[in-house]
Structure 1
């Protein structure tokens, strides 16, 4: 009798388990856990940065990015747990910075690690934020290549441009304030580099 009940239970639970296994590959499950944990880490660390940011402009960037990424998190978790289209589709992040970039290097004191929390500044805090968004852009791009579930794959891939945009917004903020300087080649070297390639003729490939 016990064996019979055991078999019945196995039969009742197996179909659901098989269906779930068909929905996600094993490698994909590990990748999804990694990106979800990474997004949680970003949101948690943004809360810590927020306590030390004095500049209203950087604080506004942090608040807008946190709100956007929280919605993104819910979208990814929804598609991960159900394998179906999430209730809130992937949104498009809109940055507030303009595209003006300051080129060239200006002399300044050499960098070194802070000796205490009191030395935290917008320069460092914005760099930590940039590190978070760049890491997630890379991670999501890599994991999207390994996804088997089409919905989760699309949601993950569609989130990559948003982290690129957030990274660019932080870079522009840093550049404007002289925290992220951009060196250039001299005109002759730049011209030579830009003229290094020629377009290929378009035509039918021979068989």
Structure 2
């Protein structure tokens, strides 16, 4: 097997992360009550299983997979996002005696898992010499990016992820300091 040491270790870490994500998504799906959230988690879990199986298959038999770049379509336009703070609810750790996650907590956990997985996939891809492993890890980063955004949309629509804003004048002053060359 012609994998380099960094490559093998990075793939090992990503596969461990995928197993954890797949297991957590099943737990979240079992405990969620909102059908939309359950569907979202189920789709994300199925995608994670396919990605895990693809990477495992390639590490066992390098002819098993020829990855292609993954493309996702986003249906939301920037106009669909709710901006501004609307009395955000206080946040605190869960009372461990409850033993049950609630939908907002589940959505937040799934969002954070996808954000971290996207970062980890991207960082791992930078250590890979094999172009197919590299592409599979890039695909994983892209998939997690889009899935994180889907969770953000779910949360934003329900007021669970509010987007702070600043005055238009401040934003323009801040960003218009950059000029084309």
Query: 1:140-172 CA distances to partner (integer Å, 9 max, x unpaired)?
Result: 100100012221112111221111000000011
Distance 2:6 2:99 in 1: 43
Distance 1:36 1:156 in 2: 10
Segments of 5+ residues of structure 2 without an aligned counterpart are none
Partner of residue 65, structure 1: 44
Matched position secondary structure for 1:51: helix
* TM-score under structure 1 length normalisation: 0.79
* TM-score under structure 2 length normalisation: 0.90
Could you say which structure has the larger radius of gyration? 1
Distance 2:99 2:115 in 1: 26
Q: Which of 39, 43, 50 is the aligned partner of 2:18?
A: 39
Q: Is the 8 A contact 1:75 1:89 kept in 2?
A: no
Using the TM superposition, give the Cα deviation of residue 117 of structure 1 relative to its aligned residue in structure 2, in angstroms: 3.1
Distance 1:197 1:170 in 2: 32
Distance 1:109 1:70 in 2: 34
Using the TM superposition, give the Cα deviation of residue 71 of structure 1 relative to its aligned residue in structure 2, in angstroms: 1.0
Segments of 5+ residues of structure 1 without an aligned counterpart are 1-19, 201-207
- CA distance 1:123–1:25, shift in 2 (3 Å): same
Query: 1:87-107 CA distances to partner (integer Å, 9 max, x unpaired)?
Result: 775654556x63411011112
Residue-pair matches, total: 178
Partner of residue 54, structure 1: 33
- Name the Cα RMSD after superposition: 1.9
Query: 1:95-144 CA distances to partner (integer Å, 9 max, x unpaired)?
Result: 6x634110111124421111133563211100010111111100010010
- Greater displacement, 84-93 / 142-151: 84-93
**1:144-159 equivalence runs, <5 A:** 144-159=125-140
Partner of residue 128, structure 1: 109
Partner of residue 111, structure 1: 91
Distance 2:163 2:173 in 1: 19
Q: Is the 8 A contact 1:83 1:152 kept in 2?
A: no
Distance 2:40 2:144 in 1: 13
Distance 2:98 2:30 in 1: 11
Distance 1:89 1:192 in 2: 42
